[in-house]
C-alpha cells in the first residue's frame, strides 16, 4: 500500500464525515488507528493501494455492494445471545404477563410484534424468539413476530443463517442448547431450531430513516446509540418512538444516553421506558 500505515488527519476527517452521513455514527478523534485498520482490510480485498482512491469509490455511490462491505467493516458487530440477562428475564416475565392479561381482558389482540433494532448478526432477535418459544403454552393462537434490522447486509446475511460459534453461545445454558439448537458434528457451531428461527425476519434499515410497517409492542435499542452524536441520536430516537405502539415499551442500553431524547415516554426503570 505504498507504505501507508494510517490515514492522514485530512483523510480521517473525510472518512469520518462520510460515515456520519451514511450511518449517523460519529467516529471519535482517538479512533484513527482503528479506522485505518478497518479500511485497510477493504483496500486489500479490492487490491487497492490508496485511501484517497477508495474514498472516491465510496463517495461516487456507484458500488452499493462495496458500501455495504465498508459499513460492515467499520461498525461494531460483536454480540451474543442473552446479553444483559435481566432484560430478557423482564421480557419473558412481567412483559408477557401484562400482554397476556390485557388480551384476556379484551384490551388488545392476541398478537405481539417486537423490534430488535441494530440487531447485527441476529443473536438478540433470536434470544427474544427463544423467550417466546419457551412461553408458547401461554400464547396459544397468538401471532408472534420478531423483526431484526441492521444497516449492514453482511451482518443480516449471517443472522438469516441462524448458525453461531462458541463466543455467541457463551450465555446459552446447556438446557437451552439441547432444547433449541443442533450442534455441528465438530461441536464448533450451533444452529437454531427452524421453528424458533421462523419467528424472526430480518431487513436492512438505517436508524436515521423512519421504520415502515405496523407499530411495535416492544423495541430493543441497546448499546448502539453510544456511537451516535448529538445530531444523529435524537433523529434515530424520534423514529424509534414513532414506531412504538401506544403503551409500547422501549428497552434502551444504560450507556446509550437516550434519556434526554425520549420525549413523553415514561421511565419505568434504568433500562425501560413506556409510551403513553
pLDDT digits (tens, 9 = 90+) for 165-182: 999 999 999 999 999 999
pLDDT category, 28, cuts 50, 70, 90? confident
- Which residues does residue 201 pair with via DSSP β-bridges, in sequence order? 147
pLDDT in tens, 108-141: 999 999 999 999 999 999 999 999 999 999 999 9
- Residue 76 in this model has a pLDDT that exceeds 70: no
pTM of the model: 0.86
The architecture of the domain spanning 9-74 is Orthogonal Bundle (1.10)
Domain 85-274, what fold?
Rossmann fold (3.40.50)
**Residues in contact with 47: Cβ distance below 8 Å, sequence separation at least 6, in sequence order:** none
- Residue 47 in this model has a pLDDT that exceeds 50: yes
> Mean pLDDT across the stretch 74-88?
87
Domain 85-274 in the same topology as domain 9-74: no
Res 227: pLDDT = 83
Domain ranges of the chain: 9-74, 85-274
Amino acid at each position: 500500500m505504498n507504505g501507508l500505515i494510517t490515514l492522514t488527519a485530512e483523510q480521517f476527517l473525510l472518512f469520518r464525515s462520510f460515515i456520519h452521513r451514511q450511518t449517523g455514527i460519529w467516529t471519535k478523534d482517538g479512533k484513527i488507528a482503528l479506522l485505518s485498520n478497518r479500511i485497510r482490510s477493504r483496500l486489500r480485498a479490492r487490491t487497492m493501494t490508496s485511501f484517497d482512491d477508495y474514498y472516491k469509490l465510496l463517495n461516487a455511490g456507484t458500488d452499493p455492494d462495496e458500501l455495504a462491505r465498508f459499513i460492515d467493516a467499520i461498525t461494531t458487530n460483536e454480540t451474543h445471545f442473552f446479553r444483559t440477562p435481566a432484560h430478557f428475564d423482564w421480557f419473558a416475565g412481567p412483559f408477557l404477563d401484562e400482554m397476556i392479561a390485557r388480551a384476556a381482558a379484551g384490551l388488545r389482540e392476541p398478537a405481539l410484534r417486537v423490534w430488535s433494532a441494530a440487531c447485527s448478526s441476529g443473536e438478540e432477535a433470536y434470544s427474544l424468539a427463544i423467550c417466546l418459544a419457551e412461553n408458547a403454552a401461554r400464547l396459544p393462537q397468538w401471532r408472534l413476530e420478531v423483526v431484526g434490522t441492521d444497516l449492514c447486509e453482511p451482518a443480516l446475511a449471517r443472522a438469516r443463517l441462524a448458525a453461531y460459534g462458541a463466543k455467541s453461545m457463551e450465555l446459552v445454558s446447556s438446557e437451552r442448547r439441547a432444547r433449541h439448537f443442533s450442534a455441528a458434528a465438530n461441536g464448533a457451531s450451533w444452529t437454531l431450531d427452524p421453528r424458533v428461527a421462523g419467528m424472526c425476519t430480518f431487513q436492512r434499515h438505517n436508524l436515521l430513516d423512519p421504520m415502515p410497517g405496523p407499530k411495535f409492542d416492544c423495541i430493543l435499542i441497546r448499546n448502539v446509540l453510544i456511537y451516535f452524536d448529538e445530531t444523529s441520536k435524537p433523529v434515530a430516537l424520534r423514529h424509534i418512538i414513532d414506531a412504538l405502539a401506544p403503551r409500547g415499551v422501549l428497552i434502551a442500553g444504560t450507556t446509550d444516553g437516550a434519556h434526554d431524547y425520549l420525549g413523553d415516554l415514561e421511565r419505568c426503570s434504568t433500562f425501560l421506558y413506556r409510551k403513553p
